[in-house]
Structure 1
């Protein structure tokens, strides 16, 4: 699977496409995706969401995705790192900072498009238009100040929209959302996602982690980890060129036999057969 790296702290990629030509990929940065026109399907971390004009998606590091375009689509990808949520001198008590920090640490991609209200969509697209115009004058001494202010406004509105959905449809508690995001981010680091490590990271007693996780997600921590790994492996097999032994090593299996056995248990087929059938 390809990994896209952002070499600058901020960029905008605005384009039209009738067909998606990028392979499935993940990032080292955050990405707000604006749909300006068109419709189709957006595949994110193994889940599929319909999209149409006005929709806005937020993806974080390690999320992987691609599009199936049904009608000519105009995209605007706003890419940035976490510097947006940092304060500047004299800005230590900024009210927006914890709001944005919470948004960026919440696995919002599990809901598809963040914004549902038409008026909120219009506000965000107006802000995007201003942001793109300002980027044409990036040599201005005021550019970074204006850019960061616009970005913070966009992210605060996204956070407000996401919060507003909570009263409409139940979602996992924030602490569980944070834990899900953390586990996904560290899925290949066995030490980081052990019960003892999660307990230390999220300030819970080790004995309570499993109970807490199952109560709020409906499955054990171990099952969630395995299922998420299988989804990532399926993407690797479908879109990547790495050998089975390389994939097994990446995802922490002791050998290729153990890897094949567990993959078959959860998918009904072996990794080699899965790749061959594709």
Structure 2
């Protein structure tokens, strides 16, 4: 399965399409997808949702999706790495921090578009218009401040709609959606992500949950967890000042040596060299 990588903390991809040109794929970043016009079907993590003008989807790292376009569709993809919502010392104890953190670690793909209310859609699309206009002048000294404020507002509106609404439809028993969400929520607690613990949590036999996950995603459960963790660690290395020991502790590694060994196994380089590559 193709994997798309974002090499900058933020980008906007605005385009029209009559036919979807991308095969089913995953990302290493978060993505807010705006449908400005058109209609069709959006396939996300093995689930299908009709889409129309005004719909907004939120995808996280490792979610896989593609579109079936039925009428000429205009999209705007707002792509961002975890660093875009990094916490600054001056932001300590701000009430929006846990809300955005929860939004980005909560599986939202089982309900399709996150917005139903027409006024909420208008608000978010207006913020998108301002964000796109500001991005045209991204070399100005105040761009990052304005961008981060707009992104924070957009994410808070998405969180407000996600957390106050009942899901449009339940997670299917034979879908990995709930497992993906659980992994995202507990990625910093490796003791909760063993095959045995996941099997117990989701009431499957250990062998069956592994087979189910691989059938629907194309990779093993253990491999998915490690890869998802590595992608978060890459963002830490590039966009934070945390030491290797602090990163190892954050992600539950027994020691820095184990952390470095696993990182090198999956990336082909050491954390230190990866941090210096730019």
Per the normalisation by structure 1, the TM-score is 0.69
> Which sections of structure 2, spanning at least 5 residues, go unmatched?
225-278
Q: Would you say the 8 A contact 2:30–2:60 is kept in 1?
A: yes
- Determine whether 1:108 maps to 2:108: yes
Q: Could you list the per-position Cα deviations for residues 66-93 of structure 1 after superposition, in whole angstroms to 9, with x for gaps in the alignment?
A: 0000000000000001123222241111
1:142 is the counterpart of 2:142:
yes
What runs of 5+ residues in structure 1 fail to find an aligned partner?
199-208, 237-246, 252-278
Q: Indicate the SS of the match to 1:119.
A: helix
Displacement after TM superposition at 1:170 (Å): 7.1
Highest Rg: 1 or 2? 1
Residue aligned with 1:123, SS: helix
Mapping of residues 49-128 of structure 1, within 5 Å: 49-128=49-128
Whether the 8 Å CA contact 2:131–2:147 is kept in 1: the answer is: yes
8 Å Cα contact 2:105-2:184 kept in structure 1 = no
Check whether the contact 2:110–2:171 (CA below 8 A) recurs between aligned residues.
no
2:212 is matched with 227
- The 5 Å alignment of 1:163-202 reads 163-166=163-166, 180-183=180-183, 192-195=193-196
Displacement of 1:193 after TM fit?
3.1
Q: Deviations over 1:75-120 (max 9, x none)?
A: 0000001123222241111111100000000110121111111111
Query: How far has the Cα of 1:12 moved from its partner?
Result: 0.2
Distance 1:221 1:165 in 2: 33
SS of alignment partner, residue 76 of structure 2: strand
**1:166-205 CA distance string (max 9 Å, x none):** 3887779xxxx8854244898xx9x953225x6xxxxxxx
| 1:213 matches 2:202 | yes
